[in-house]
Amino acid sequence: MPLYGILCLVIVFLELPSSGEAGFCSEAYSCSRQCSTRERYTTACGLFDWQRCTKHRTKYYSCSNTCYCQICCQGYTGSDCNTPLCFGSISCLNNNTCTDPDQCSCKIGYQLPKCEDTNECFSNNGGCAHTCTNIPGTHQCSCRDGYTLASDGRRCNDINECSTGKSQCNHNCTNTAGSYTCTCNAGHELSHDGKTCDDIDECSQTPFPCDQQCNNIPGSYTCSCGTGYYINTSSNTCKDVNECDTGNHTCDHICTNTDGAYQCSCLTDVDECLEGTSQCSQNCTNTPGSYTCSCENGYVLAADEYTCNNTDECQGVLCENGGFCIDLIGGYTCSCAKGYTGTHCELVSSKW
């Protein structure tokens, strides 16, 4: 404790100001001084020291005393003893002013008695929306990642990373409180970096999305079908082309549709009429794979459809007056009895 102007004067003057005021005060302390006493003693004296004489001498010794020294009155210091002392120092904590003994004048943000720093964060988080940091004399608010401190220094405003371009989302950015999420267009998936959108290869997925052929394209895929099939675009399935129905085939004779293709089968016609293998008794007409028989005038095709029978034109014909009918090829004639004539022997012959 530096005490300025300690000047101890042994009982020089004694000023006793009332306590609590600046100035000098006296302090009593125990000191020692030289005291003396006269002491009688006997000693040998006279001729040959045969006599005893009584003598006196002064004896000095140290004796205790009360001394006073001038010091600064309680609570003050300095050469004039008018600098107040606060809790042993001429200033208060944190550069605050000591106005009177043990009386600090604290700036805002410091608290009595010694102007210790007030931790504003203890009360209501210092008014901060997110993080409060105490600093000497005041405090400071700060915000979590993804937020900026508002102009009032307390509230925290969400940063829209999508509009600031900080997000770097490949396709689509959605701002969220304190953050953001990237999403991808259809047919793409978000890669591990959370930003890049990678094309999904639908053709390598299970189940295989197409009936037959798959072609991956950015963001999607297309299906196609092999020869002999057509794609149904609404169901994305392959359907068989019926080449026999559509006419897109090369069959001469018989076309049979199969799955994905078609088969031709052939008719090899033999002309039975020309080869003489027909059983026609008269006319022969070749047909694909077969033949038909027909008959000349005056003949009819028999029930067997091969044979030609002569038509019996005499059926139902009546030759009169004893005549009789003779069947001819394609006709008939009546052979009349003697004395008759006419087609049916109905006339009497004039020449007798």
Query: Would you count residue 250 as binding ligand NAG (CB under 6 A)?
Result: no
**Residue whose tokens read 């895929």:** 221
Calpha distance 5→25 (Å, rounded): 11
- Residues whose CB is less than 8 angstroms from the CB of residue 271 and which lie 6 or more positions away in sequence, other chains included: 286, 291
By CB atoms closer than 10 A (0-12, 13-18, 19+), residue 110 is: buried
Q: 122-149: buried (b, 16+ CB within 10 Å) or exposed (e) per residue?
A: eeeebebbeebebeebebebebeebbeb
- Residues whose CB is less than 8 angstroms from the CB of residue 56 and which lie 6 or more positions away in sequence, other chains included: 38, 39, 40, 41
Calpha distance 345→321 (Å, rounded): 6
The nearest distance, CB 223 to ligand NAG, in angstroms, is 13
Among 65, 246, 263, 290, binds ligand NAG (CB under 6 A): 246
Among 123, 163, 174, 205, binds ligand NAG (CB under 6 A): 174
CA distances from 333 to 29, 240, 325 (A): 198, 72, 6
**Residue whose tokens read 């209501």:** 124
From 8-16, 76-84, 215-223, 233-241, span contacting ligand NAG (CB under 6 A): 233-241
Among 31, 239, 288, 322, binds ligand NAG (CB under 6 A): 239
Query: Would you count residue 176 as binding ligand NAG (CB under 6 A)?
Result: no
| Site map 274..293 versus ligand NAG, x via CB under 6 A | ---------x----------
**Residue whose tokens read 């009332």:** 18
Among 51, 74, 235, 258, binds ligand NAG (CB under 6 A): 235
Q: By C-beta, is 103 or 307 nearer to ligand NAG? A: 307
Among 64, 227, 268, 350, binds ligand NAG (CB under 6 A): 227
The nearest distance, CB 304 to ligand NAG, in angstroms, is 9
Calpha distance 315→331 (Å, rounded): 11
Interface of this chain with ligand NAG, residues 76 to 105, rule: CB under 6 A: 94-95
By CB atoms closer than 10 A (0-12, 13-18, 19+), residue 55 is: exposed
Among 36, 309, 335, 349, binds ligand NAG (CB under 6 A): 309
Q: How many chain residues bind ligand NAG (CB under 6 A)?
A: 19
Among 296, 318, 330, 349, binds ligand NAG (CB under 6 A): 296
Q: By C-beta, is 119 or 343 nearer to ligand NAG? A: 119
Query: Would you count residue 302 as binding ligand NAG (CB under 6 A)?
Result: yes
Chain residues binding ligand NAG by CB under 6 A are: 94-95, 136, 172, 174, 183, 185, 227, 232, 234-235, 239, 246, 248, 283, 294, 296, 302, 309
